[in-house]
Amino acid sequence: MSAALSAQDISRALTRISHEILERNHGSSDITVLGIPTRGAHLAARIAAIMNAIEGKEIAHGTLDITLYRDDLRLRPPRTIMPTFIPPIGIQGRDVILIDDVLYSGRTIRAALDALGEVGRPRTVQLAVLVDRGHRQLPIRADFVGKNLPTSEKQSVKVSLTEIDGVDEVVIEGEAN
Amino acid sequence: MRHLLSINDLSATGAIGILDTATELARINDGQVKKLPTLRGRTIVNLFAEDSTRTRISFEAAAKRLSADVINFSAKGSSLSKGESLKDTAQTLQAMGADAVVIRHPASGAAQRLADLEWMSGSVINAGDGTHEHPSQALLDAFTIRKHLGKGASDLAGLRIAIVGDVLHSRVARSNVLLLSMLGADVVLIAPPTLLPVGVESWPATISYDFDSVIPNVDAIMMLRVQQERMTDLFFPNSREYSRYFGLNSERMSAMAKHAIVMHPGPMNRGLEIAADVADSARSVIVEQVTNGVNVRMAILYVLLAGGPLEVGSN
Amino acid sequence: MSQQRFLLRGGKVLGGQASDLLIANGRIEAMSASISDEAATVLDIKGSIILPGLVDLHTHLREPGREDSETVASASRAGAKGGFTALSAMANTSPVADTAGVVEQVYRLGQEAGFLDVFPIGAVTQGLKGEQLSEIGAMADSVARVRVFSDDGNCVFDPMVMRRALEYVKKFDGVIAQHAQEPRLTVDSQMNEGIISSKLGLKGWPAIAEEAIIARDVLLAEHVQSRLHICHVTTAGGVEIIRWAKARGIQVTAEVTPHHLLLTDDLANSYDPVFKVNPPLRTTKDVMALREALSDGTIDIVATDHAPHTSETKDCEWAEASFGMIGLETALSIVNKTMVESGLLDWAGVAHRMSSAPAKIGHYPNHGQNLTVGSVAHITVINPTKSWIVDRDLVVSKSRNTPYHGYELPGLVTHTFFGGRATMIDSKLMDKVV
């Protein structure tokens, strides 16, 4: 099985997304980057670091766990709650960039919007994902996409990151159709 | 896990999972978030056949912060005080569609009976049954101990904890002995011999009749409430003598290790088992135990009710 | 006198040689290797054991007063199902059996039911209160001919009352059956005091509460030279005291229940009150001591302490529930399992412990006799090779509180004959005894 995205592809995609975010928002001063645990949180840290290097200043970034807001809790065994860390500057009136690894049904992002609503009222909420695999069940789209990967619903998209898995790659598992 | 009836229902991993969940919930509760949608549409019944304002309020706050609907069913004025059986009450709750019942009952084993007899399909959470167990209290005590003394560890290995007083009649002591020892702590029970049950030698704890000799060597001292009626049942001569040997006063507190904490599940008899200045001292974490209680009970409700039918920790 | 004739083919009397046995005219008419009788109903019981009809010295029939849990008639049928031909009706009914009127009523109800003899036990004290002696003489002289007196359920606690009772029954060679339970040591007690009770938070019932009364009463019986019977012994310490008393020549007899020969206090872990019983289930050490004592004769008899209770008094919290379990229908199988299969008793020993010894203690006429030609045909047949599964929904008793629900028990009682009349054939109770 060959990788849909190599380490180099991922690196390039994250750099491009970082530039696009800065461009769209006219710089970094109002941006708060929030990653959705677990892999989205690591991607957020990387994107924040890239933007730090470009802008030459610290980008506000943190994590947002959405477990308690999921609408599919009853369909699975209880999940472990992951840490939420909102940077001290908060999200009130800010441009919040949500980061996740894979955009699929859209339900995770819906839960994230609910979770954000409890914390404060951002000026805008934008979404950046490494992979968009399609099959949306809700009217949600990403503002920044690393790679569109057409898949069948029987397949699964496995994102590996060095921080957790020791390697950077994206693999599509299972047969198409 | 469907029910929480006894600490024996938990593995060490499962117990630590609840404490970890409570830690995250505490961080959320400390921030601006007051309400989570997690248990929206679920009905939790507080079935209290015995007065306990603090435990009931704690479970109620926990359930409400998770957006569950809460129905309070207390002994006073309810059918339980009119001779209706536990069975009939349970069937009524089932008909009302209760997803979980939090039960406090004067009879040991009442929670287990409710769970075993399949009178209702929901989860049963034991909030204190007679002189048997009070698992949510032990979990909040373990949470409090870990927070103050855990040094970042997930369990309580290496800690030494004294439980002092009426062990014989204490459900708090029974649950704490099981949980704290499971999490790796050394538990010392300190009481007059009349207030230790026959068979206590089989418990995972050591026994001492001499409070003063134990005090300097423990990390936490958990004082148990002494019921006034014990005095008429010949368990000790009078309250003065009890306090002299087993009460925690400021003199004894000064013999504690610098880092050691004082705990009490409440409600306290100030001046009997604990002196007022000890209860109000900087070492006392008694008020914090109440705060932690809400977070731990949210974690219990989350673990029992949020998931689907599979077992906790099966992944 | 019954006109029925039954020819039992190939059964082993007390587990001995196979032979035929003819029942006619209410008596054992013939016993030999091969009998033919064209008028008799032939029953092939090859491989089964023939025992004298079982005699229970301790049964709660609940009538009068609690006919919703059991009646004399329903208990009689349950007894026949378990192989019994005589039951002893405990006095703790409502009203209490403390007058000749009540014991005669119970006796008559037994005769009317007709499945076995019901011998009433009289209360020692009025209303079982432990204060004033009941009408002991009148009950002894009544139609019921009461010889056994007991406040069972309550201990005759006051030593002076116990002394007077022991003395008083000497007049007609009666016996006081003591429920040995020191009341002050057992206030609100729920189960055996020990490791299990410490964990379950159920109030302990110390063994000493039983042993202290046994010790006191054997000394009282010695002092006044009267007959004492100890109901339901449950502790190894109690056994030791009785052993000592017997060696000293004190006229003491003792009983053990089938459930105390098998079940232990760890069953309370379920908090299921079907295991709540007075006296409580004890430890494995106690169970082993009781079996040994029954084997060596220190304990004289097995008595069921059959205690029916309606489901609402058991379908509740442990502390709220009533004490007691039913046991008539399972008694012989439990004794087979615990005593015969373990080699501690042979079938002759079972016949002694469950028939002749209790009949002798109670002076029950015509019961517990040797199985010889001419004796009254009270007969029980058990097939020791057949096992059965206890189902509380299929019991004959009006109550379902058996602790053995779902147990597979060895030995099936197949036939019972009461005075030559069949009360059960091929494990099927007769509708009516004719």
**Percent of chain A residues topping a pLDDT of 70:** 98
Interchain CB distance below 8 Å, C199 and B85: no
Rg (CA), chain A: 16
User: Which residues of C are less than 8 Å from B174 in CB distance?
Assistant: 199, 201
* Count of the separate structural domains present in chain A: 1
User: Which residues of B touch chain C, with CB atoms under 8 Å apart?
Assistant: 85-87, 105-110, 112-113, 116-117, 129-133, 171, 174, 197-200, 202-203
Question: Strand, helix or coil at C349?
Answer: helix
For residue C319, give the nearest of C273, C354, C361 by alpha carbon: C273
Q: Quote the minimal CA–CA distance from A127 to chain B in Å.
A: 23
- Residue in C186, C189, C199 to test binding to B, most B beta-carbons within 10 Å: C199
C328 pLDDT higher than 70: yes
Sequence-separated (6 or more) residues with CB below 8 Å from residue B25: A81, B295, B298, B299, B302
Quick count: other Cβ atoms within 10 Å of Cβ C373? 12
List the single range of A63-67, A80-84, A137-141 with lowest mean pLDDT: A80-84
User: Which residues of A are less than 8 Å from B28 in CB distance?
Assistant: 68, 84
Alpha-carbon distance A4 to C188, whole Å?
73
**Percent of chain C residues topping a pLDDT of 90:** 98
Residues B299 and B191 in one domain: no
Alpha-carbon distance C343 to B286, whole Å?
61
Alpha-carbon distance C71 to B60, whole Å?
49
pLDDT at site B76: 55
Given a contact as 3+ CB pairs under 8 Å, which chains touch A? B
B140-186 per-position pLDDT tens digit: 999 999 999 998 899 999 999 999 999 999 999 999 999 999 999 99
Quick count: other Cβ atoms within 10 Å of Cβ B232? 7
By residue range, what is the domain housing residue B155?
Answer: 135-288
C258-297 per-position pLDDT tens digit: 999 999 999 999 999 999 999 999 999 999 999 999 999 9
User: Which residues of A are less than 8 Å from B310 in CB distance?
Assistant: 76-77
Does any CB of chain A come closer than 8 Å to the CB of residue B295?
Answer: no
Place of tokens 């009460």: B247
Alpha-carbon distance B79 to C304, whole Å?
38
- Cβ atoms A99, A43 nearer than 8 A: yes
Domain assignment present for C295 = yes
Domain assignment present for C230 = yes
Confidence of residue B245 (pLDDT cuts 50, 70, 90): very high
Does any CB of chain B come closer than 8 Å to the CB of residue A89?
Answer: no
Residues C86 and C155 in one domain: yes
* Count of the separate structural domains present in chain B: 2
Domain assignment present for B79 = yes
Q: Is B153 exposed, middle or buried (0-12, 13-18, 19+ CB in 10 A)?
A: middle
Does any CB of chain A come closer than 8 Å to the CB of residue B41?
Answer: no
* Count of the separate structural domains present in chain C: 2
Alpha-carbon distance B135 to B142, whole Å?
11
Q: Quote the minimal CA–CA distance from A109 to chain B in Å.
A: 15
Q: Quote the minimal CA–CA distance from A38 to chain B in Å.
A: 15
pLDDT at site B52: 85
Note if the bond before C283 is cis, omega within 30 degrees: no
Task: Tell me the β-bridge partners of C125.
Answer: C133
Interchain CB distance below 8 Å, A84 and B25: no
C202-258 per-position pLDDT tens digit: 999 999 999 999 999 999 999 999 999 999 999 999 999 999 999 999 999 999 999
C169-178 per-position pLDDT tens digit: 999 999 999 9
Quick count: other Cβ atoms within 10 Å of Cβ C249? 8
User: pTM, whole model, 2 decimals?
Assistant: 0.91
Phi, psi of C65 (to 5 degrees): 120, -50
Interchain CB distance below 8 Å, B31 and A86: yes
Mean pLDDT over each residue of chain C, to the nearest integer: 97
**Of the residues C362, C394, C412, which one is the last residue of a structural domain?**
C362
Domain assignment present for B315 = no
Given a contact as 3+ CB pairs under 8 Å, which chains touch B? A, C
Q: Which residues of C325-360 are buried (b: 16+ CB within 10 A; e: fewer)?
A: bbbbbbbbbbbbbbbbeeebbebebbbbbbbbbbbb
Residues C65 and C200 in one domain: yes
Q: Do chains B and C touch (3 or more CB pairs under 8 A)?
A: yes
Domain assignment present for C332 = yes
Place of tokens 């050490």: C285
By residue range, what is the domain housing residue A143?
Answer: 3-173
**A-chain residue closest to B314, CA distance:** A77
Alpha-helical segments (H) within chain B: 12-30, 53-65, 86-95, 110-116, 135-149, 171-182, 211-214, 239-246, 250-254, 276-279, 286-301
Q: If you write DSSP's letter for every residue of C225-286 in order, what string do you get?
A: T--EEE-S---HHHHHHHHHHHHTT--EEEEE-HHHHH--GGGGGG--GGG--SSPP--HHH
Pick A82 or C123 by higher pLDDT.
C123
Residues B55 and B167 in one domain: no
Given a contact as 3+ CB pairs under 8 Å, which chains touch C? B
Query: What CATH number does residue A112 fall under?
Result: 3.40.50.2020
Domain assignment present for C1 = no
CB hemisphere CA count around C56 (13 angstroms): 35
* Among the partner residues B24, B37, B313, nearest to A69 by beta-carbon distance: B37
pLDDT at site B315: 31
* Among the partner residues B17, B31, B307, nearest to A73 by beta-carbon distance: B307
- Cβ atoms C156, C177 nearer than 8 A: no
Domain assignment present for C253 = yes
Alpha-carbon distance B267 to C427, whole Å?
61
The edge-to-edge listing of strands for the beta sheet with C84-89 is: C54-55, C84-89, C117-120
Domain assignment present for B276 = yes
Give the type of residue at A164. Answer: I
Domain assignment present for C76 = yes
> Is the Cα torsion angle B103, B109, B115, B119 positive or negative in sign?
negative
A97-122 per-position pLDDT tens digit: 999 999 999 999 999 999 998 888 99
Does any CB of chain B come closer than 8 Å to the CB of residue C312?
Answer: yes
Residues B274 and B300 in one domain: no
Q: What is the largest CA-CA distance in chain B?
A: 56
Alpha-carbon distance C142 to C251, whole Å?
26
CB hemisphere CA count around A74 (13 angstroms): 9
**Of the residues C340, C362, C384, which one is the last residue of a structural domain?**
C362
B42-79 per-position pLDDT tens digit: 999 999 988 888 999 999 999 999 999 999 887 654 55
Place of tokens 């006619």: C24
Residues B159 and B274 in one domain: yes
- Residue in B10, B18, B38 to test binding to A, most A beta-carbons within 10 Å: B38
**What is the token pair recorded at C295?**
């084997």
Residues C271 and C135 in one domain: yes
C352 pLDDT higher than 50: yes
Confidence of residue C78 (pLDDT cuts 50, 70, 90): very high
Alpha-carbon distance B88 to B107, whole Å?
16
Confidence of residue B95 (pLDDT cuts 50, 70, 90): confident
pLDDT at site B311: 43
By residue range, what is the domain housing residue C398?
Answer: 6-50+374-429
Residues B128 and B214 in one domain: no
Torsion angle, alpha carbons of B276, B278, B280, B281, to 10: 150
